[in-house]
Amino acid sequence: MGYRSYGNLVFPAKYLPRFAETVYPDKEPNFGEWDDRDAWRNPQGIDMIRLSYSGWKWYESYSDIQRIEQFMSDLGELSDEQWEYDNKVFMLKEEIPDSVVTADLTKIKAINNFTVGLKQVEWNWGFNRQGEETEDYDQYGDCDNLSHESDIDWGYFTEYVSDEGWIYAMEVTPAEKAILEAVKPESYPVAKQDRSKRANQDIFETNRYDYKTQKSYQTNYCVLYGHLPMPDIATLYGYFKRHLGDSAVEEKDHDDRYVWAKASWNSDSQTYHLEGMNYCEWEVYNNSYPDFSWEGKGLDFDQVLQSYMKVAKEE
């Protein structure tokens, strides 16, 4: 798991007392340590809670993390047990099992408009966690409010690649620019795995910052780009050596005046895998984050918390 994690925990408000007892035993629950605290009534009439967190060290050996995971384990068991009652209608004085959630104030009325009880409503819970690595993502429960979003941002190279793909760019002088512009497309590098995937080439002007002189300067970059599979790095490097000469390219290599990046989709983790050299300064990066959304009627978290904790004390 990632050194620092962030994400969301969603569950019915009915389980706020259990959450407090499990996560904060022998002390007042500290909801202030959670970044966001939301409450709403979903379309099924269930009062729901969302707690978000960020920058947490999510290690299973930590006692506070163990308590949260124990609460999630309890939710999982309760969620499974709810199916034993199969949409049962409970009489007003009938005890409602801990695993059953009834929609707030949802009452079944008889023909004569006489209230006969409360109807069980299906409920879900959910948890998601994103670590520092894009592929370090976990999600538990069956909650529709949580999802995993992942995308790739090609930064300065968005004009050339927008999804899966690759780029290899090198700084060139005006004279080298003229040499590369004269190269015919059929001489561009190709991928060994699929020789029909020939690279594209373009030369663009850009402003760069020299960390040695601490000054910005205007220069040209020749970019090779295309769809996967990507030609071997040695092949791309050799392309520039062949046309610009060994010493010129080796000097650019030594001074980090080149950049390459490859982005591929990982179907197992549902994230983009990004690899390369010097691409961060070109603002190429992949995003992976735990998303949250809700629908229904917004509620005041503090009022919901007070209401359900009060009911628990009275019981």
* pLDDT tens sequence across 208-219: 888 778 899 999
279 and 308 inside one domain: no
Number of domains in the chain: 2
The structure tokens listed for 67 are: 């308590």
Q: Is residue 106 part of a domain?
A: no
Domain of 168 in residue numbering reads as 151-290
Q: What is the pLDDT of residues 126-174, one digit of tens each?
A: 999 999 888 889 999 999 999 999 999 999 999 999 999 999 999 999 9
Q: Specify the pairing of strand 115-121 against strand 200-210.
A: unpaired
Is residue 101 a part of any domain in this protein?
no
Residue 59: count of CB within 10 angstroms of its CB: 12
Sign of the CA dihedral running 156, 160, 163, 169: negative
Whether residue 183 contacts residue 175, with contact meaning beta carbons closer than 8 Å, is answered with no
Which tens digit of pLDDT belongs to each residue from 37-53? 999 999 999 999 999 99
> Do residues 31 and 162 share a domain?
no
